[in-house]
Amino acid sequence: MKPTYLIQQATLVNEGKTFVADVLIENEKIQKIGSIPAQEDYLLIDGKGKVLLPGVIDGQVHFRDPGLTHKADIHSESKAAVAGGVTSFIDMPNTRPNTLTMELLEEKYQIASQKSVANYGFLLGINGENLEEAITWDTRKLLALTDDGLYFSGKGNILADRPDMLEKIFAANKGILAIHSEKEEIVEKNEEAYREKYGDDVPVKFHPLIRSEQACYEATERAIALAKKHDAKLHILHLSTAKETSLFRNDIPLKDKKITTEVSVHHLWFTDADYEEKGTLIKWNPAIKTQKDADGLLQALIDDRIDLITTDHAPHALEEKLKPYFQSMSGAPLVQHSLACMLEFFKRGKISLEKIVEKMCHNPAILYKIKERGYIREGYFADLVLVNMDSPWTVSKENILYKCGWSPLEGTQFQTQVEKTFVNGNLVFDQGDFQEDSRGKALEVEWENKE
Ligand SMILES: O=C1C[C@@H](C(=O)O)NC(=O)N1
């Protein structure tokens, strides 16, 4: 029998409100919220002075399993996630082999059922060769279209080279098309120009000029035009420029939007001023851009043009990062620190707690139609995070849980600290200790077939 937990007098942040209440967790669900008398057999948790949030649902991670497990695996990264308050994740298809068939997708669910301490969902990739697979799509699963110039190397870029294929995918699609939006033809031209000038070792500060604002804007504009033409549901992954935010609406609720977007934490946190100190450790695709971009993205998040906050958690071994520009792999780990970064913005008065919860917890559940998660509600899964809002700590090698063992945030001090994380009513993380044998569940989604 699982213990019944009573969290007493925590400050809940949920659905736009902040209020003090008790929360009763029985089996895997939230049984009751309110004023709840303690009983003898309850395990009591003192929530006084602490903040209780719905578990974060990270809509974009790369946990590298299977095939790239020297960088990360589902067990290591799901532990890091849970320690950071992330109770569910959606993993991208650029594992090895790329997740391009239902069998491979199923295999990932199998691996996760054995290794993940958090809840999980996986996107199917589309590379132009597997259209049939994508069309005979299983509505229990998630579906992504990713720009294969980046994810499925060697096959060209659907957005640029296969407009016919892209038209078909948009026309046939029943689910959500999630796109990494950078025009590769512009990027390649810029790369050539810089290579000519600097050879292989281009200074990384030019990364945002190579993977430029124009490359992002034109790709996003093109994808939106196609989605509109076919009345498809399109989600632009990790927006990185202020200019692109004008392409998105904020005058309808998320549940009615056909075209949505997200920002990843690093595009809010870092700016091009950080390349000097951090070098290729903060080389991401799309690139970290200017302060003006970071400010514009935060503003668009607050005024609801941007719908979600994700991490694009993309770990690489340190030696894969510390290379000359063209050889250095893009991406960095973030899932353990995303909530801490956003709560730091709250501490600095830049965003409200309610808005953070909306964008990190509620909205991923709405966008991906995830059942019974993303909110603190009676009858929902008890995915909960108890945060001490005044407990300074510094990111260091000793407390990094990523398999790759490094973080672009090393040396950063955070004011807030996740104290406890519940996943499906299990107290999986408790002040540094893990219930190692606890396993998450597959996210259940509710998509209807497009007629
Ligand atoms: O979108 C992506 C993919 C990721 C990776 O390494 O898988 N790295 C990135 O920088 N951006």
The CATH code of the domain that includes 338 is 3.20.20.140
In 213-325, the DSSP E strands lie at: 233-236, 259-264, 308-310
Task: Kindly give the distance from the C-alpha atom of residue 352 to the centroid of ligand 1, in angstroms, as a whole number.
Answer: 29
Task: Kindly give the distance from the C-alpha atom of residue 51 to the centroid of ligand 1, in angstroms, as a whole number.
Answer: 32
Question: Tell me: the pLDDT tens digits for 232-290?
Answer: 888 999 999 999 999 999 999 999 999 999 999 999 999 999 999 999 999 999 999 99
Rounded to whole angstroms, the Cα distance separating 382 from 380 reads: 6
Q: Determine the number of helices (DSSP H) and then strands (DSSP E) in the chain.
A: 16, 19
Closest CA to 94 of 64, 132, 71: 64
Report which secondary-structure segment, H or E, holds 18: strand 17-26
Task: Flag whether pLDDT at 177 surpasses 90.
Answer: no
278 is a domain residue: yes
φ, ψ of residue 30 to 5 degrees: the values are -80, 115
Task: Kindly give the distance from the C-alpha atom of residue 91 to the centroid of ligand 1, in angstroms, as a whole number.
Answer: 12
In the numeric block, the tokens 């000029």 are attached to: 209
362 is a domain residue: yes
Asked if the interface predicted TM-score (ipTM) of this complex is over 0.85, the answer is: yes
168 is a domain residue: yes
86 is a domain residue: yes
Rounded to whole angstroms, the Cα distance separating 222 from 225 reads: 5
User: Count of domains in the chain?
Assistant: 1
Ligand 1 contact, 62 CB (< 6 A): yes
The per-residue pLDDT for 125 is 80
Task: Kindly give the distance from the C-alpha atom of residue 331 to the centroid of ligand 1, in angstroms, as a whole number.
Answer: 5
- Ligand 1 atom with minimal separation from the 94 CA: 7
Task: Flag whether pLDDT at 160 surpasses 60.
Answer: no
The per-residue pLDDT for 147 is 44
CB-based contact 74:112 (threshold 8 Å): yes
408 is a domain residue: no
285 is a domain residue: yes
Instruction: Report CA dihedral (85, 90, 95, 98) to the nearest 10 degrees.
Output: 180
In the numeric block, the tokens 């046939």 are attached to: 172
31 is a domain residue: no
Question: Tell me: the pLDDT tens digits for 63-115?
Answer: 999 999 999 999 999 999 999 999 999 999 889 988 888 889 889 999 999 99
CA-only gyration radius of the chain, Å: 21
* C-alpha separations of 202 from 183, 197, 279, 329 in Å: 20, 8, 11, 14
445 is a domain residue: no
In the numeric block, the tokens 């202020």 are attached to: 242
Domain that holds residue 86: 55-367
Rounded to whole angstroms, the Cα distance separating 315 from 61 reads: 9
